[in-house]
Amino acid sequence: MKPLIAIIVSPWSGSLSGCQQHIKRVIDAGGLPAVFDPRVEPGDIIEVVDGILLIEGPDVHPRFYGEDPSPNLREVDVLRDEFEIELVKLAVKADVPILGVGRGMHVINVALGGTLYQDIYEIPKAIKHDWPETTRPEQRLHTIRIKADSNIYSILRESLNIEGTNEAWTWVNSFHHQAVKRVGEGLRPVVFAVDGLIEAIEAKDGFILGVQWQPEYLPEMLHLYRALIEASIKRHEEADNIRKRILEAEIQKKLNVEQGESHHSSETSDSLPDTNQT
């Protein structure tokens, strides 16, 4: 059975058309994509899906990490922010795998108590990350360096340039103007640009992965979607096993009660006094 992967979009911001490439990647990786918008309850999604894909979109409003808006803040969608942040918190509790892309990485970080640079040029000596929308998305525009002790290193190893035992590198596309600043609880930074900007974060436990680039346009990055699918299948199987054990325990409990009642009835019948008169 293919795992059901939730993709979150905002119908009023035109992101539905923008998620088509993600839908294709989920299908190519062996998953079953399902598109949701922020008008449903996050808890309802957690009950039915096996994995979550948070995709690119508007800036995360800084109120969610305790800051006032910078003049460089761009388009925001507070309803989507509230929805996705709650969804991440519930997914973490339920051990539902999450892959975050672009904004999705920022949402993960903020949901777990981290902060963002409202604009990357707050970083001294930052290289160009915010390439215009007219730039072809499949172009590889700057390098990233990946820690060898990370989960993402294991996922992408076949396509990386390996240097020594501690680090590897590759080229990626780049279309963002916000970035992770303080890393959220339970997360660690594992990929960096040459200017030190965090390009990927991952959970210390479980499958939570956020990347800053747009992997849906880079063929070698299909491995990220496959990793999400594999983690979602594992989670689905574990959930099925738990449900099976609960059901078996309930059935056994019912049988024990029925057997106890039958035994009690038998003992009562055997001890009835003889009322026959001679």
Higher pLDDT among residues 55 and 1, named by residue? 55
Distance (Å, whole) CA 206 – CA 198? 20
What integer is the mean pLDDT of 153-169?
89
What are 230's two structure tokens? 């594999």
pLDDT at 278: 46
Higher pLDDT among residues 267 and 20, named by residue? 20
Measured in whole angstroms, how far is the alpha carbon of residue 115 from the centre of its chain? Answer: 18
Q: Say yes or no to pLDDT of 274 above 60.
A: no
Distance (Å, whole) CA 181 – CA 184? 9
pLDDT tens readout for residues 99-139: 999 999 999 999 999 999 999 988 889 999 999 989 999 99
Q: CB–CB of 60/90 below 8 Å?
A: no
Among the listed ranges 18-32, 148-162, 260-274, which one has the minimum average pLDDT value? 260-274
Distance (Å, whole) CA 89 – CA 231? 18
For residue 7, which phi and psi values (nearest 5 degrees)?
Answer: -120, 125
What is the percent of the chain where pLDDT is above 70? 91
In this prediction, residue 179 has a pLDDT band, given cuts at 50, 70 and 90, of very high
Instruction: Report the chain's terminal Cα–Cα distance, integer Å.
Output: 73
pLDDT at 255: 79
Beta pairing partners, 143: 171
Q: CB–CB of 22/51 below 8 Å?
A: no
What are 81's two structure tokens? 């922010």
Q: Say yes or no to pLDDT of 272 above 70.
A: no
pLDDT at 245: 76
- Mean pLDDT, the chain, whole residue set: 91
Higher pLDDT among residues 6 and 263, named by residue? 6
Pairing relationship of beta strands 98-101 and 51-54 according to DSSP bridges: parallel
Distance (Å, whole) CA 102 – CA 72? 18
Q: CB–CB of 94/46 below 8 Å?
A: yes
Higher pLDDT among residues 243 and 42, named by residue? 42
In this prediction, residue 18 has a pLDDT band, given cuts at 50, 70 and 90, of confident
What are 168's two structure tokens? 């590897």
pLDDT tens readout for residues 79-97: 999 999 999 999 999 999 9
- Which strand ranges, in their side-by-side order, compose the sheet holding 98-101? 32-36, 4-8, 51-54, 98-101, 208-211, 198-203, 187-193, 142-147, 167-172, 161-163
Q: Say yes or no to pLDDT of 268 above 50.
A: yes
What is the percent of the chain where pLDDT is above 90? 75
45 contact partners, CB below 8 Å, separation of at least 6 = 6, 36, 52, 87
Q: E strands of the chain, at which residues?
A: 4-8, 32-36, 51-54, 98-101, 116-117, 142-147, 161-163, 167-172, 179-180, 187-193, 198-203, 208-211
pLDDT tens readout for residues 206-229: 999 999 999 999 999 999 999 999
Higher pLDDT among residues 162 and 43, named by residue? 43
Give me the helices (H) in 51-133, please: 78-94, 103-111
Q: Which amino acid is at 124?
A: P
In this prediction, residue 249 has a pLDDT band, given cuts at 50, 70 and 90, of confident
pLDDT tens readout for residues 49-83: 999 999 999 999 999 999 999 999 999 999 999 99
pTM: 0.87
